[in-house]
Structure formats: C-alpha cells, structure tokens
Structure 1
Amino acid sequence: MAGVSRCMKYSMFIFNFLFWVCGCIILGISIWIRVSGAQQGVDNSILAGVNLLIAVGAIIMILGFLGCCGAVKESRCMLMLFFVALLLILILQVTGGVLGAVYKPQVEAIFNYTLSESVHALQSTTGEYKEYQEEFQKLEKKYHCCGLQNGPEDWGENFNKKKDICQCELEKPSDVCMNYKNRYIYRKSCGELIMQQIKDHLVIIMGIAFGLAVVEILGLVFSMTLYCQIGRK
C-alpha cells in the first residue's frame, strides 16, 4: 500500500502550528484589551468588536490544534474535523461576500437614513444633543469637513449661532476651504469622507478575505490529500 508523504505531513504540521500561534496571539491580545477596557469603562460597541476577535482567536486555535494533531498522529478523524470546520468557514466567507453584493443598495439606504437622523441631531437647538454636537465639531476639525450631507446647511440655525462651526483655519479659498456667508468653512461634507473611508477599507477587507480564502483552499487540499493517503496506508 502507498505510504503517507512525509513532506506533506510535516508541511501540514508547520502550516497549522503557525496557524495555532496566530490564534494564541489574537486571543491573548483580545482578552487583555477586553479586561483592561472593561476596567476603564470603554464603550460597549468597541468591546463587542473585541469579543468577536476573542471568538476568532479561539476558532483559529482550535483549527490549528486539530490540523497539527491530525498531521502528526495521522488521525483521519482530526483531519476530517479540520476539513469540515475550514470548509464551513470558507462557505460563510463566500456567503457573506454574496450577501454584501446583493444587499449593497439596502446598506447604502440604511447609511443615508442614519446620516439623515444625525442631521436632525445637528440642527437641534434644545440642548438635548449638545454633547453629540460638540463631539461632531471635533470630528470636523480633525478631518477638515463640514456637516454630513449638505455641508453647513446640516447645522441649521446653529451655524449662525456658533461662529466656530466648520471654521477653516486657512481663511482663504482653496481645495479645503470655501467662502460661505462671509465665513471660511471646510468645503467637503463629513458624510462624503466617511463613505470614501468605508470604500477604501472595503477594498482592504476584500483583499484580506481573498488571501484567507486561498490559504483555506490550500488547507482543504492538504488535509484531504493527507486524509486519503492515511486511508490507503
């Protein structure tokens, strides 16, 4: 009977050992951030993202462990578990990508609706959204933008009441600043910049997802090849 390829066996082990180490690093850092963040009162939305990283790190650790043990011990059971788990992750990635493409118009509509709701908060004069307005002004200064959709018009009456809203430091017409009601303000809307950043990050995420898919397919091929070789041994 044909034997098991030692090259493929130890290549599978090294690949999964590095996979396991990455999972340990992600899990350890995520737990540390989670604990320290909870002690310092970090926002729950940020902690939710950290919890997701903890889950990802744990899954990578388990997969790496199954792959390493399956390769070294020549365990068909562990290799099959590794194959099935990796296949499910790959299917979820593909499904997520397809759903993202199909529901892109709905996502954009939700984003625009969120911007509209935020505009109402900027136009409020009751003081209910005072803290939000102050934080948004800091964002405008940081990213050199004004308003969310229609520039200074998004501030409504507040624009005339507060002279520092959207105030451009250059105080002259340029690619960044423009003259509006005898005041120099930032030319671009923050909503436009936010959308551009989202698109830029999506390109990066798609690249990472494609790279992971290639690695996962190689893992599937190696594990199934090794599984079949052990069966023929």
Structure 2
Amino acid sequence: MGCFGFLKAMMIAFNGIIFLAGIAILGVGIWVKVDSGSIFNFLGKIENVPPQINQVLNVGYLLIAIGALLVVIGFLGCCGAIRESKCMLLLFFMIVLLVFIAEVAGAVVILVFRPVADKLFDEVGTAAVKNIQKDYGGNPDITGLWNTTMDALKCCGFYNYTDFTGSPYNMASNNTYPPHCCVNNAPCNASAAEAKKADGCFIKIKKLIDSNTVVIVGVALGIAALEICAMIVSMTLYCRVKSTRA
C-alpha cells in the first residue's frame, strides 16, 4: 500500500467514526427534545430566572445540529475518499475549515465575555435561592427536583444550607434543613449543617469543571489538531486524485 492508499484508508476509517458519532449525537438530541430530563423542567419552573438561561432548554436543538453536521462531514469525507471525488473532498475541506474558524471565534468570544457569564450565573443563583425559599417543602414538584439534584450531585442547596432558611420545609420542621446538608441523615439543624459544610450544587459543578480544565483544554486542542490533519489529508487526496473524476 502506497502513501496515497494509506491516506485514503485513514480518511475512510476516520470519517466512518465521525459519521457513526454524528448519528449517535443526533439520536441523543432527538431524545432530549422528545423526553427532556428533570434539569430542563427544573430550570423552566424557577421563577424570576433570567431569560437568557432559557437557551439551555434548547440544548436538544444544539445536539441535533452538531449531530447533523458530523453526519454530513463523515459522509463527505468517507464517500469522497472511496469514490475519489474531488467535489466531495473539496466540500469536506471547506466545511471542516468553517467549523475550525467557528471554534476559534467561539473560544475568543468565551474569553471576552467571561464576566458576562459570571454575572448571569449570579442572577441564576439569586433566582434559584428565591425559588427554594418560596417552594421547597411546599411545592412537591420543586421539592422533588431539588432532592433529585442534591442526591445526584451530593450537594446542598444552590450555594449552601442557608438557602433553605425560611423555606416551607425549614419552617415546618422546627428550623431544620434537608438531610442532604448533614452527615448520615442525622437531625439537621444549623449546627450540624455548619459542621458538615456541604457544598452547594453550583459550587459542586464549578469544582467539577475546574478540576477537569486540563482535560477539557486537552480535548479541545486534540479536536483542533484532528481537524487540521483532516484538512491536510483531504487536500492531499484532492491534489492526487485525477482531474477526470467528479
């Protein structure tokens, strides 16, 4: 197998994987839109939540768009290499180049507008705490959603146990707090909650992201490197394919 054959085989294998991954992501996106998870219902029921956070509810559309894009890229790359089609290879190169440019632009936007995102999270936190103090222990839906979230993340409230102060649960249980905020589900008064110092769910998520920053950056750089390699290989095949092919 010569260099051309090797590059062609790699192009087919690589884009075959992308095609299958795109189908999987597309399926997940459709499932999210058909049967949204509790987190989406939770966000939708919080009162006074900033309108910008409603965009999170459209994550299904984002997954569908990403899945469809990957299916198209995988199809063009795989079929373009198999058929040695200069048209398909050129389209593949152009789409990957546009995606690469969009990713770079997105990274710049995230860095520039990071303070705006922090402000948005503060507004969400304020709305979430008001929601807890108004409905936790009084509204079964809100109570169940918060309990599910706290069970899953092993956290307490949005920021900490004080978020529950003044809530229907707190008032009806002699100023105690949810068992998630204390050790071994013991009677959870302020002293017990203070002793455990359970992280709030927002802090838990933030710590999870911060602890995986290196992994996230590494994955992003890896994807960028693969995109550059894909563009180089596609142009190499494009130049090697006989001009008589479509």
TM-score interval, smaller chain: 0.7 to 0.9
Q: Post-superposition shift, 1:79?
A: 1.2
Question: Which residue in 2 is equivalent to 1:153?
Answer: 162
Alpha-carbon contact 2:93-2:235 (below 8 Å) kept: yes
3-state SS in 2 of match to 1:222: helix
Q: Which residue of 2 is the match for residue 230 of structure 1?
A: 241
- Please state which structure has a larger fraction of its residues in helix: 2
> Which structure has the larger Rg?
1
Contact 1:145 1:187 in 2 (8 A): no
Classify 1:129/1:204 alpha carbon distance in 2 versus 1 (closer, same or farther; 3 Å). Answer: farther
Separation of aligned partners in 2, 1:133 and 1:119: 13
Partner amino acid, structure 1, of 2:178: C
TM-score by structure 1 length? Answer: 0.74
Residues 72-127 of structure 1: CA distance to partner in whole angstroms, max 9, x if unpaired? 33322211110000011111111222211222222112111210121122222798
Question: For residues 9 and 104 of structure 1, what CA distance do their matches in structure 2 show?
Answer: 42
1:123-175 CA distances to partner (integer Å, 9 max, x unpaired)?
A: 227988664245324544554443333x3332232335435523324378xxx
2-structure distance, mates of 1:129, 1:171? 22
The amino acid that maps onto 1:12 is M
Contact 1:20 1:65 in 2 (8 A): yes
Q: Which residue of the partner structure matches residue 49 of structure 2?
A: none
Stretches of structure 2 lacking an aligned partner (at least 5 in a row): 45-53
Q: Distance in 2 between the 1:188 and 1:91 partners?
A: 42
- Residue 96 of structure 1 aligns with which residue? 106
Paired letter, 1:135: L
Change (3 A) 1:155 1:90: same
Change beyond 3 A, Cα 1:62–1:137: closer
**d(CA) in 1 for partners of 2:189 and 2:116?**
36
- 2:177 — aligned with what? 165
Q: What corresponds to 1:219 in structure 2?
A: 230
Q: Distance in 2 between matches of 1:123 and 1:35?
A: 30
Cα distance in 1 for partners of 2:59, 2:26 equals 13
Which residue of 66, 72, 80 corresponds with 2:90? Answer: 80
**Identity across matched positions, percent:** 30
What TM-score, normalized to structure 2? 0.70
Contact kept in structure 2, 1:37 and 1:47, CA below 8 Å: no
- Consecutive unaligned residues of structure 1, counting only runs of 5 or more, are none
Report the CA distance between 1:34 and its aligned residue: 5.2
Residue 196 of structure 1 deviates from its aligned partner by 1.5
State whether structure 2 residue 217 is matched by structure 1 residue 206: yes
Aligned length: 221
